[in-house]
């Protein structure tokens, strides 16, 4: 990784504008992004409900980095690098399951659920098992939402924890269940995927289905043009004691905003996707509580369901978009909700976004590409994302250049 | 791009011999080739007839570089980088069509056919549209044949314009229509594809079908062994006032040569592919007017049709060969010409060349590869191509090394 | 190739432990491995019987390096770089065949079976053919087993020749025929494939089928726990005058070991795969004579057949495993042996190993990977392989760094 070249690229960045070309398409800048951004940030990976009992685990990939999340015997959620301390083999295959202990399939080295090495055959008598436990990954369980950080010095998370705990309370994340999940492969740089996910300038023409419920004409921090509805909505929430004003930190945002008139959920028809509500008050309409975590995710919680989107790159030109839908744990499939319609709105929206991001990537390859201006009114959050990216990169460069 | 290493590779080049190995197979030399060669050369892209009216456009790729060619309201042909000045998105999908204005599908930024930015919503009042027009690409329309150059300082083209105008006159390029086109993917370095396209040493055994009409035993600049026919042919052309002597500049060649006895077109049986002739005199036999443009193309114009071949790399090991066949604009498909037979000769020839070039590439990977000698008699034009490549590279290196 | 970086990686190697991460997954270390390891080592490529007569040839790939092995008019086996001295084209397509001369398909340059250039048309009269023969590759024919080395200074091979000649004698390699061959593509670094091939710590649970005949619980140099059988076996071999003690050199090992009680061949049921024995004495049980050559191969010779495994990488993440099965030249397919069962044991075993190696590779990508300890008792040969690799690399680095 040529840090001098990367430093130069970032110094070429023009404020208020998209990034220099090689930060989007350079194969060498990808390794930098993984180390400086994905390796140093908190990442949303799911909900506690996905690990219902002792030994429940999720095995997932952060790009090419394998991670295991597991519920230990005390009921705590822990995260580890998914790599045996013997020869480095993957211990759990990507997916989820339950296991009394974590056993490497290669030579049967066996780990306790707290990551400590329990058994390794044919090793010498003076072999110190205590030095060969699974390497831990930082884990935060915030009101039932799970975040990991692969850095040994994770960024401060106290403010985010406090705010998300308060804003997510009505949705009772501890009582969720995972109803559906899928992955979409996008052949575009991850930053183009995320810039797209951070603005709705393209929504009115790009996402007709989303526009049913979503205030696609919003500006800045989900400010809608329809101030009458916004004020009424704010008064209702205040009455219910539900926080809603946009709050943010360096790498996160949390807000609650009103959905379009006549809608109460983000779905094809704007109506609840699950009859078993997470919050039954106010006629089941508390708008959408959106939280977003840089570099890679956003989530919308309505009265009936929670949607979580996260994007992870595997190369400079390929990004995997993970999507998860949660409903109340007591909701019954086929009665309270229907799987075919559960994913419909975000599937169609994600496919539209995939096409836009891939088309964007192809154009950014142009020999004539130069950084262009963000709309300060319509793309403020995209610009905020890129600013955060440049600041985060700057900190890493300064720490790693002599 | 490590210019010192690339400089060293070119300094290892042995005159009269093929290139050093890493100039063919090095992944890093590919970026150099794109910048120094494809980015700095005139490239043949098609014919004016492909853009019949105001708003007609062709969207094409020079490797990963997207370009739009469009006919504006004044009837002029213009070329632009196909990348929106907002976020860089591709404006026109690869292919062709007609549009009153060029509208980016992402956020609906709208450009006039002259490239100027016509409309961009939600931008501030002080936003200067005049600074955000599409970036122009140099365009030359020579007697109806279109050439673009992505450099801001294109090479001089006056001599080529003058010669091609004179030599192409009998074929009346302005009265053509595109009858057929296709693309062949070759897994070989683009220079091996082009060296192959610049010599006929391999033709007698490699291209039995082409040998029907083509003087495959020719040496140097299309000199045939059969001097009797050559002299008769020259006298006929002189009589008709049609220029034929080989002429050339640093990056181009133009010549007219006789086809084999009893043939009047380059086709499977050596006979016209289209009954509606471009030039009806001399019993429809004015041989072939060949023009070739370095780095990437050659074209043959006979009395009945025009064939244009151009090769564009997408990586050090993959080259796309674009093929276009043109006939008289009034020729009627199914009556004057038949599509299945139109492409047959060059399709079979291109597939043979693909196999030869790919086989060449595999062998050049050999640990025992060393540059070998060109036949001065049979491969003069291949050597000329490689010499031009090295000279062009040298100029770029000298301009970019301290 | 950044030799300083590579040097640093090797200096980070911790004795008794697996390699630093980037020596397994770094794209740049692959070029080093090809140059320093595969380009400087003796490689097992097959048996003399595969070239039965004058003009018989095998065309094979060492990664991307094409090589021809041919039997010349004197009956000697020779090896050449498979790259025409004219434009570098591949002369023989991968595979095998018979040819009176070696003719390049491109421009018909024609070579004698001793590699000398016989004919090249259209070259000038002063062209010196004697300077344009095929480039030779070092070749050793040891008792019928063929080894090549692409280096101009191959490692000493006298000790190996002497030992292999003695140990292989009972199997009479000159009387073999190739019964079957195939290739398995493994998406893992070649060193992980080879470490796996060099230890049986994973065999008891990983290879139930192999465990039928193979002493999978062995330690160090094929020492079995069952000393009774080992001693009886040694006495029998001594009686027959067949050498068996483990012997080794820097890059090779040769030994003969007893198979499991009641078995006489390495097969699904532990019984002979071919009725036409290579060695008929001792009731057809002389255990397995194993030879292994670093970096890439091992072979097992039993009384009835010979199996040869060799692994060649094509990138840092892809390795091709070549497998060949030989039987007595007079064995008749369908009568003495059956093809469907011939390959069964190693096919199932190789597929298990592929899964283990690929899983290992995925885990080594972990951000938490650190080199782990080899079991001194169960993985001695894997550690020996890695030590050899580091020593070999060190010699190359020292010879190529100022």
Q: Each residue of B41-84: pLDDT tens digit?
A: 999 999 999 999 999 999 999 999 999 999 999 999 999 999 99
What distance in Å separates residue B353's CA from the closest CA in chain C?
A: 10
pLDDT bin (cut points 50, 70, 90) of residue A231 is: confident
pLDDT in tens, A169-217: 999 999 999 999 999 999 999 999 999 999 999 999 999 999 999 999 8
Average model confidence (pLDDT) for chain C? 96
- Across A55-90, b (16+ Cβ under 10 Å) vs e yields bbbbbbbbbbbbbbbbbeeeeebbbbbbbbbbbbbb
**Predicted confidence (pLDDT) at residue A72 exceeds the cutoff of 80:** yes
B83:A375 CB<8 A: no
C84:B363 CB<8 A: yes
Q: What is the DSSP string of A217-249?
A: T-BTTTB-S-HHHHHHHHHHHHHHT---S-EEE
Classified as helix, coil or strand, A284 is helix
pLDDT bin (cut points 50, 70, 90) of residue B298 is: very high
pLDDT in tens, C51-69: 999 999 999 999 999 999 9
pLDDT bin (cut points 50, 70, 90) of residue C225 is: low
The answer on C91 and C226 residing in a single domain is: no
Judging by DSSP bridges, how do beta strands C117-119 and C136-142 pair with one another? unpaired
Average pLDDT over every residue of C270-276: 98
Domain boundary among B154, B185, B211: B154
The answer on C261 and C131 residing in a single domain is: no
- The partner residue sitting opposite B89, judged by closest CB among A205, A363, A368, is A363
Asked if residue A294 is part of any domain, the answer here is yes
C376:A124 CB<8 A: yes
pLDDT bin (cut points 50, 70, 90) of residue B238 is: very high
Q: For residue C42, what are its two tokens? A: 């003796």
A363:B91 CB<8 A: yes
C367:A80 CB<8 A: no
The answer on A173 and A89 residing in a single domain is: no
Residue A25 is inside which H or E element, if any? Answer: helix A21-25
The answer on C168 and C117 residing in a single domain is: no
Q: What's the pLDDT at C222?
A: 67
Cβ pair C387, C36 in contact under 8 A: no
- The partner residue sitting opposite B363, judged by closest CB among C39, C89, C123, is C89
Domain boundary among A154, A183, A218: A154
The answer on B285 and B243 residing in a single domain is: yes
Which chains are within 8 Å of B by 3+ CB pairs?
A: A, C
**Predicted confidence (pLDDT) at residue A402 exceeds the cutoff of 80:** no
**Predicted confidence (pLDDT) at residue B221 exceeds the cutoff of 70:** no
**Predicted confidence (pLDDT) at residue C268 exceeds the cutoff of 70:** yes
- The partner residue sitting opposite A366, judged by closest CB among B65, B105, B106, is B65
Judging by DSSP bridges, how do beta strands B318-328 and B176-186 pair with one another? antiparallel
Average model confidence (pLDDT) for chain B? 96
Count CB-CB contacts under 10 A for residue A153. Answer: 7
Asked if residue A372 is part of any domain, the answer here is no
The answer on C138 and C75 residing in a single domain is: yes
Asked if residue A384 is part of any domain, the answer here is no
**Predicted confidence (pLDDT) at residue C114 exceeds the cutoff of 90:** yes
Chain B residues within an 8 Å CB radius of C107:
201-202, 375
Q: What is the DSSP string of C192-226?
A: HHHHHHT--TTHHHH-TTGGGTS-TT-BTTTB-S-
Average pLDDT over every residue of A329-342: 96
The answer on A194 and A76 residing in a single domain is: no
Domain limits at B100?
42-154
Chain B residues within an 8 Å CB radius of C80:
368
Q: For residue A342, what are its two tokens? A: 């559960």
Q: For A107, which residue in chain C has the nearest alpha carbon?
A: C202
What distance in Å separates residue B271's CA from the closest CA in chain A?
A: 43
A81:C202 CB<8 A: no
pLDDT bin (cut points 50, 70, 90) of residue B231 is: confident
Asked if residue A353 is part of any domain, the answer here is yes
pLDDT in tens, B252-287: 999 999 999 999 999 999 999 999 999 999 999 999
Tell me how far apart the alpha carbons of residues B343 and B179 are, in angstroms, rounded to a whole number: 10
Tell me how far apart the alpha carbons of residues B306 and B46 are, in angstroms, rounded to a whole number: 11
What distance in Å separates residue C294's CA from the closest CA in chain A?
A: 20
Mutate to test the interface with C, among B360, B371, B377 (most CBs of C within 10 A): B360
The answer on A183 and A142 residing in a single domain is: no
The answer on A208 and A120 residing in a single domain is: no
Domain boundary among C122, C154, C186: C154
pLDDT bin (cut points 50, 70, 90) of residue B218 is: confident
Judging by DSSP bridges, how do beta strands A117-119 and A136-142 pair with one another? unpaired
Q: For residue B197, what are its two tokens? A: 């396209």
- The partner residue sitting opposite A135, judged by closest CB among C195, C368, C375, is C368
**CATH number for C258:** 3.90.380.10
Asked if residue B4 is part of any domain, the answer here is no
Mutate to test the interface with C, among A40, A83, A133, A138 (most CBs of C within 10 A): A83
Cβ pair A221, A381 in contact under 8 A: yes
- The partner residue sitting opposite B89, judged by closest CB among A359, A367, A377, is A359
Q: What's the pLDDT at A217?
A: 85
pLDDT bin (cut points 50, 70, 90) of residue C96 is: very high
Which chains are within 8 Å of A by 3+ CB pairs?
A: B, C
Helix count (H) and strand count (E) of chain C? Answer: 10, 17
Asked if residue A397 is part of any domain, the answer here is no
- CA distances (Å), B251 to each of B139, B192, C251, C347, in order? 17, 17, 54, 56
Please report where in the chains the tokens 């029998």 appear, as a residue.
C236
pLDDT bin (cut points 50, 70, 90) of residue B219 is: confident
Tell me how far apart the alpha carbons of residues B292 and B145 are, in angstroms, rounded to a whole number: 12
Q: What's the pLDDT at B55?
A: 98
Average pLDDT over every residue of A369-388: 96
Residues A26, A28, A30, A36, CA torsion sign: negative
Which strands form B247-249's sheet, in the order they lie side by side? B176-186, B318-328, B306-315, B297-301, B288-293, B252-257, B247-249
pTM of the model: 0.95
Which chains are within 8 Å of C by 3+ CB pairs?
A: A, B
Structure ipTM: 0.94
Q: What's the pLDDT at A221?
A: 67
The answer on A75 and A198 residing in a single domain is: no
Asked if residue B27 is part of any domain, the answer here is no
Cβ pair A47, A176 in contact under 8 A: yes
**Number of structural domains chain A divides into:** 2
Cβ pair B373, C88 in contact under 8 A: no
pLDDT in tens, B8-42: 999 999 999 999 999 999 988 999 999 999 999 99
User: Lowest-confidence range among A218-227, B224-233, C169-178, C283-292?
Assistant: A218-227
pLDDT in tens, B134-186: 999 999 999 999 999 999 999 999 999 999 999 999 999 999 999 999 999 99
**CATH number for B119:** 2.102.10.10
- B to C CB pairs, distance under 8 Å: 81
The answer on B227 and B139 residing in a single domain is: no
pLDDT in tens, C121-134: 999 999 999 999 99
Question: What are B's interface residues with C at a Cβ cutoff of 8 A?
Answer: 18, 24, 195, 201-202, 205-206, 356, 359-360, 362-370, 372-373, 375-378
Average model confidence (pLDDT) for chain A? 96
Chain C residues within an 8 Å CB radius of B206:
106
- A to C CB pairs, distance under 8 Å: 81
Please report where in the chains the tokens 């994600």 appear, as a residue.
A350
What percentage of chain A exceeds 70 in pLDDT?
99
- The partner residue sitting opposite C88, judged by closest CB among B201, B369, B377, is B369
Chain B residues within an 8 Å CB radius of A201:
107, 122
B123:A206 CB<8 A: no
Q: Which residue in A149, A252, B314, A59 sits closest to C367, CA to CA? A: A149
Asked if residue B358 is part of any domain, the answer here is yes
pLDDT bin (cut points 50, 70, 90) of residue A225 is: low
The answer on B205 and B346 residing in a single domain is: yes
């Amino acid at each position: 990784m040529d840090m001098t070249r990367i430093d130069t690229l970032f110094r070429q960045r023009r404020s208020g504008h998209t990034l220099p070309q090689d930060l989007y398409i350079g194969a060498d800048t990808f390794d930098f992004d993984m180390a400086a951004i994905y390796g140093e940030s908190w990442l949303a990976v799911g909900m506690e409900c996905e690990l219902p009992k002792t030994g429940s685990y999720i095995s997932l990939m952060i790009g090419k980095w394998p991670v295991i999340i597991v519920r230990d015997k005390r009921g705590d959620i822990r995260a580890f690098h998914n790599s045996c301390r013997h020869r480095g083999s993957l211990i759990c295959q990507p997916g989820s399951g339950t296991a009394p202990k974590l056993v490497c399939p290669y030579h049967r080295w066996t780990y306790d659920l707290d990551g400590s090495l329990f058994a390794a055959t044919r090793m010498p008598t003076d072999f110190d098992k205590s030095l060969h436990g699974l390497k831990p990954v930082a884990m935060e369980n915030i009101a039932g939402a799970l975040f990991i950080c692969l850095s040994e010095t994770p960024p401060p998370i106290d403010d985010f924890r406090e705010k998300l705990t308060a804003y997510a309370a009505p949705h009772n994340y501890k009582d969720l269940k995972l109803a559906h999940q899928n992955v979409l492969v996008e052949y575009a740089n991850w930053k183009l995927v995320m810039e797209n996910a951070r603005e709705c300038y393209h929504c009115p023409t790009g996402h007709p289905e989303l526009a049913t419920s979503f205030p696609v004409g919003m500006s800045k921090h989900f400010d809608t043009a329809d101030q009458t509805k916004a004020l009424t909505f704010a008064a209702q929430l205040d009455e219910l004691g539900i926080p809603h004003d946009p709050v943010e930190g360096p790498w996160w945002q949390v807000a609650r905003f009103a959905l379009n008139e006549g809608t109460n959920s983000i779905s094809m028809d704007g109506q609840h996707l699950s009859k078993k509500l997470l919050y039954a008050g106010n006629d089941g309409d508390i708008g959408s509580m959106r939280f977003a975590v840089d570099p890679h995710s956003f989530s919308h919680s309505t009265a009936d369901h929670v949607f979580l989107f996260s994007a992870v790159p595997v190369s400079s030109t390929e990004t995997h978009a993970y999507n998860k839908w949660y409903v109340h744990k007591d909701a019954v499939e086929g009665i309270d909700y229907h799987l075919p319609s559960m994913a419909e709105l975000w599937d169609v929206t994600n496919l539209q976004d995939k096409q836009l991001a891939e088309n964007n990537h192809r154009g950014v390859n142009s020999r004539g590409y130069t950084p262009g201006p963000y709309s300060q009114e319509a793309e403020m959050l995209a610009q905020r994302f890129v600013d955060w990216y440049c600041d985060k990169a700057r900190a890493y460069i300064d720490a790693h250049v002599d």
